[in-house]
Chain A
Amino acid sequence: MINRWSFLLFLALLSPIIGIFFGAADLSPSQLYQCVVAECASQVDSVIFWEIRLPRVLVGFLVGAGLAVAGATLQNITRNGLADPYLFGVVSGAGLGASIATLLFDSQVGETLTLFRLLPDVSFSLALPVAAFLGAVFAVTLVQALASSSFGGRGEHMLLAGVAVSFMLSAFSHFLLFLGDPFAANKVIFWLMGSLARVEIWYAWIMLPIVMGSVLLLLLFGRRLDALLLGDENAKTLGVNVTAIRLLALGICAALTACIVAYCGGIGFVGLLIPHIVRRWVGVTSRALILGCVLVGGSFMVLVDIIARSALTEQEIPIGIITSAIGSVFFLLAIRQRQT
């Protein structure tokens, strides 16, 4: 077991280094070394290192870790291995938020709305993540309210409510996009596919406290989250306040996913796939699972981002496409392995 943990730790340290070395531009290790210890040899090197590769690696790691942790937590609190942060309507909620933002920034609509003039003069690129975040929070709140009021808070019902809300919100946002400016619609669609392309270093400073805070809280409540695996009734007899723990965990997942989706769009399958791999490798109890998800999820995202950046010349592939493609194949393999 110690060997496995050290391997994961090694992987988590190695993948960012690989991520910094690989990319479309050829930077030799010595040039990069120079950037780290002293000053970059040229202006171009400096931009590539500080403004492109480092932010992407840092944000990529945080995004992967955050999605995997959110997925693992949702799977534990719903006792359902198919739970995924995106099944809770978070992405479609964020999509709706983003669509509304594009519609508001559409000059014609914007000018007719007096309310909009009262808003501070912000750029579209800044307003998009904020609107997406608000949309994601709205979706999670809606799912949670539905699940706890009309369905008695049971795990499987929560999933079903999530799926229903997802479809409903997507319908709204598709309608808005249909009405709106085709250019803006394109932008939203590209963003919904999930991408680390426009990542900037300050994203990392926003995500870092959220991811770290969530992980610490979940570790703290680890034993109580484990008890939920036995079923609500059993957990209650162990003195666990099931409703409170579930609400707390859901809130954490919502915050994690919302901030990730807001900046990077919908990166699919990471939250579903990584927890399954980690369970097999280092165990099913919450504390091991969450730490494992941070290491594996982060490394996975950084490595996949290398493919996204360098697979096609001149262009990059939205990372969500690659994670979904790789993820679904791995997932099928995992199911097959379990059956035999």
Chain B
Amino acid sequence: MNGHENTDATLNLANLQAQQLCYEAGGNTILSNINLSLERGKVLGVLGPNGAGKTSLLKMLSGQIASHGQVSWRGKALNQYTPLQQAQQIAVVNQLNESVFALSLQQIVRMGWLPHKTLLSRETVQDHQHLAASIAKVGLSEKIHQTFSSLSGGEQQRGLIARALVQKAALIVLDEPVNHLDIYYQHQVLKLLRTLAHQQQMTVVMSLHDINLAASYCDHLCLLDKGKMVAQGPIKNVLQAPTLEHVFKIPCQIRRDDLSHHLRVDFYPPDEAETSQMPEMVQFKSMNPPDKRYY
């Protein structure tokens, strides 16, 4: 909604921009007419139900799939970058489930050097310092020689973020970075990403399932439903009860948390809603003759 309201001035400031993105696969429209823009050093959370097109959007924004419409990064269309130039600018953090042979954490993080190395270039002292600093930044210095697959989910995720740091990318794109993590690591990983964005001016785009986590750690949100952008912008613009109810098909209420001052969404699944006077549920009750329950 807000995507169309951007003035020219804000468009020029934007680091990452998408215009009229469309994507079709196997005759199905996955995404249609997506516009968004994001400034440098901001965290964008992509929300939406399963199958809304979150992963496809992230893949388009990171240049992994070609797009109808245009994605531009720093004022230049993504398809004008070579794959190598793209990798120097954009890091992608996917869940890693294909490590057959026992690579260590360090060996995986080192791969972040790849876009900056030619076949013959050697690793310099600065490279190694930067590597150590990156691993320290995600708090994994002590586990540097451990096998990657022996690390916990949260540690693996932070390891991959360290790889993105080694990659010296200005944009990090993460697909559900806190999936399968326990609450402690969810907050750890998201806090780390927010710090990187705000302190080092990295731009972060990630998809999230937990709306409340997104509300706590993102600067901007965008809400997808069936391949369409339903809402985007600052948190308070996106987290509107009618919109969320429409997208997620569950009644909800929005409040501001007293302690953290973040917006909170409370969902009321239909059973609980019976007691909380939701309009649809009232209708549902009236359809059943009340005395039927006593038979």
Q: Which residues of A contact B (CB under 8 A)?
A: 75-76, 79-81, 220-221, 223-224, 226-227, 229-231, 233-234, 236-241, 279, 284-285
Contact = CB atoms under 8 A, between A and B. Distances in A.
Q: How large is the interface on B (under 10, 10 to 19, 20 to 34, 35 or more residues)?
A: 20 to 34
A75 B101 CA distance: 10
Interface of B: 62, 64, 83-88, 90-92, 94, 96-103, 107-108, 111-115, 117, 119-120, 167
Nearest to A81: B100
Contacts of A80: 100
Contact of A231 (B91, B96, B120): B96
A223 B101 contact: no
B160 to A, nearest CB: 9
A230 B99 contact: yes
A238 B119 contact: no
Contacts of B115: 238-239
B103 A229 contact: yes
A226 B117 CA distance: 14
Nearest to B101: A284
A279 B85 CA distance: 33
Q: Which of A80, A227, A234 has the most CB of B within 10 A?
A: A234
B100 A223 contact: no
Counting from the closest, the 9 A-B pairs by CB-CB distance are A239-B87, A231-B98, A237-B92, A239-B84, A239-B115, A284-B101, A238-B114, A79-B100, A220-B119
Nearest to A228: B98
Contact of A237 (B64, B100, B101): B64
Contacts of B108: 230
Given A79-B98, A220-B120, A231-B98, A284 B64 contact: no
Nearest to A289: B101
Given A80-B100, A233-B64, A237-B87, A223 B94 contact: no
Given A230-B111, A239-B87, 11 more contacts: A221-B119, A226-B111, A227-B111, A231-B96, A234-B94, A234-B98, A237-B64, A238-B114, A239-B85, A284-B103, A284-B107
Nearest to A237: B92
26 contacts: A75-B101, A79-B100, A223-B111, A223-B113, A226-B107, A229-B99, A230-B96, A230-B99, A231-B96, A234-B94, A234-B98, A236-B64, A236-B83, A237-B64, A237-B87, A237-B90, A237-B92, A237-B94, A238-B112, A238-B115, A238-B167, A239-B83, A239-B84, A240-B83, A279-B101, A279-B102
B83 A223 contact: no
Contacts of A234: 92, 94, 96, 98
Given A224-B114, A237-B91, A239-B86, A230 B98 contact: yes
Q: Which of A227, A231, A236, A237 has the most CB of B within 10 A?
A: A237
A205 B98 CA distance: 40
B89 to A, nearest CB: 10
A226 B110 CA distance: 10
A223 B96 contact: no
A239 B86 CA distance: 7
A96 to B, nearest CB: 32
